[in-house]
Each structure stands twice: as C-alpha cells, then as structure tokens.
Homo-oligomer: A and B are copies of this chain.
Amino acid sequence: MSGNTFGKIFQLTSFGESHGLAIGGVIDGCPAGINLDLDSIQLELNRRKPGQSAIVTQRKESDEVIFYSGIFEGKTTGTPIGFAIHNTNQKSNDYSHIKDSYRPSHADYVYDEKYGIRDYRGGGRSSARETASRVVAGAIAKQFLAKVSINAYVSGVGPLQLEMDPSEIDLSKIEMNPVRCPDLKMAAKMEKYIKQIRKEGDTVGGIITCIIKNAPLGLGEPVFEKLHSEIGKAMLSINAVKGFEYGSGFSGTHTKGSEHNDLFNTDGSTQTNRSGGIQGGISNGMDIYFRVAFKPVATIMQNQETINTNGEKVNMQGKGRHDPCVVPRAVPIVEAMTALVLADFLLIKRTNKL
C-alpha cells in the first residue's frame, strides 16, 4: 500500500534512506533453481555507482551487496532473498543546511507535509540511492530471463539527440564510453556538453532508450496491466523521470492508421514495428523499445532562493558532489526495472492456460 513493493509474483520490497545504516530489500517469488552469478550482480551495481567516471558524482560509495538468505550452494531456493547495502558514506554534518530548508524541486517540502517528519540527511528516502536496491533485484531478474536481452542507452543529453532506429543500434558500443551512448561521436559530444554544464554549476536532462530482444510472445495482461503500462509505471517510478513512450510514441500521434499499422509476415512477425513489440498490451515477439525522459537534476551548484520550514525566504547553494546529468548512471536502473517487469510477466504467463 505504501508502495515500497514492486511486482506481483517476482517482487522486490525495498527499504532504506540515503544516510541511514543501510539500504536493501527482499526479493520474493524468485523461482528456485537459478544458478546465481553473484559477480554479475555486483557488476550491475558498479554501473550505477558514483565515481565511475569523470562525468558523474564523485561521491565515494562502495555499494557492496550482502545477501542474507534465499541462496544456498550458489542457487536460489525459492525462499525470499534478503539483502543489504551498507551506507559507508554517512556524513550527516554535510546536510545541516537542508535540515530546516526545502530544496527547490526536491521532495523535502512534500515529505514534511505528508508525514509530519522527514529524514533530512541527504534526501533520505527520496534520494536516488534507493535505486541501488532495484539494480540488485533487476540483476537477479536478468539471470532468470537469461534468453532475453535488455539494453538501455543514452539517446539524449540536453539538446543533443541520437536519431537512430533502436533495432539497428550496435549494443556492444554502449559500455565503451562514460555517457553510455552507442554512437561514439555523439557520445563524445555529450560528454563534452556535460562537462561544460558541470563547470557552470548547472545540470541537464536527458533521454534513455531501452530495447528488449527475444522477449517471448504473450507477456502482459490485456486490460489494466498491459505490458507497456507496467513498464511505463516502472520507468515513471525512477527518480527524475518525466515521461515515457513506446513504439511510435508521441510522434505516432501525427500519423495516419494507413501509415502506422504494422502488416504481418506469414510467420506472425510484422514488416514494420511501430507497435514497439506490443499489441493490445501483450508482447508480440518483435523487439520492444521505449524512451524515458529525465529532467535535469534539481541540486545545482548555484545560489537559489528558497524557503525554510518557517516559510521564510532563505538562500541555498548545493553542496557536496552531485551528478551534472543523471542519465549515464540511470541506464542500469532502466534495465533493472525492465527486467523486474518482464520476470513478473513471464511467471504470470505460466498461469494463462489450462
């Protein structure tokens, strides 16, 4: 009810504040018998980790996950997988300036109003640090989904846009550059742009595209829990996300039906894929692709006017080490949430027929 659990069968329940003792979660409903590669889970965490390149926040966080249960002799046992990531970077004195003030376009104010109390240390529960737990669960979901490939990449940074058909991307290039853009020339431009923005003490938004290959036909439930409704919800639950579109998306609204319809090949595949691999909410076996919009990070290194908890005007300047652009580090989060949705629907699909 409080929205800290994601999924229906393959479920992640997440806990933790950015500057508490630990963040972590419980993965329940993961089928028994998966040979878990723990290194590849840590690898996914490292893709999200601060300090991984010159264009992301330089905070030091080791982000090592400890598993408490649910894994035995290298395999999942079907029982819940409890895990924690200890917060080694607890400098609560860094945050004294936000104890009594509300950062603009952050959740501080609404938390105070909603709960009457707020863990003001570094954003508390509203910090994107929480997404590390999602990456852990998503990494396990990926191993369950072994045959399905899920790849996200940066397709927009501020005004710089990558215009390429997602199905024609060379996915091997994504991890070759710190921006995670598969076009290396564009990646270089984006990197340069982000560095400039950072110098200005500013931040910038961006877009992540995700493409899923080899997803089985039949994922998604036809009415309220369409495959794209759940992927959309998953994406919109990531910090800073402002929009989601799949297949032809917003630009498809300009087209006519005669242009937009995907005609069938005799094997049931389609000649075009404006549907984005989903028809009537159900995967049709074609590539699934979608785009996710991220706003610029709200914490900027410039002076801003804001209010304190007494409703008085005060001045505030971002402190600490923050991301000038969130999308490079959000790529593994987009993949993780996608994996959670697909793992869940793959299990639900087992119950569809007699």
Contacts and interface: CB of A to CB of B under 8 A. Distances in A.
Which of A207, A226, A354 is most buried by chain B, counting CB atoms within 10 A of its CB? Answer: A354
Given A5-B28, A24-B82, A258-B202, A295 B253 contact: yes
A18 to B, nearest CB: 10
Contacts of A259: 296
Q: Which 10 A-B pairs have the closest CB atoms?
A: A107-B280, A3-B225, A3-B221, A243-B245, A15-B82, A203-B257, A205-B253, A233-B233, A32-B115, A257-B296
A68 to B, nearest CB: 4
Nearest to A67: B21
A110 B279 contact: yes
Could you say which interface size class chain A belongs to? 35 or more
A93 B294 CA distance: 49
Interface stretch (A41-49, A166-174, A184-192, A300-308): A300-308
Nearest to A30: B2
Contact of A117 (B33, B66, B124, B244): B33
Nearest to A208: B253
Given A73-B117, A207-B253, 7 more contacts: A1-B29, A32-B116, A203-B256, A204-B257, A237-B281, A260-B296, A263-B305
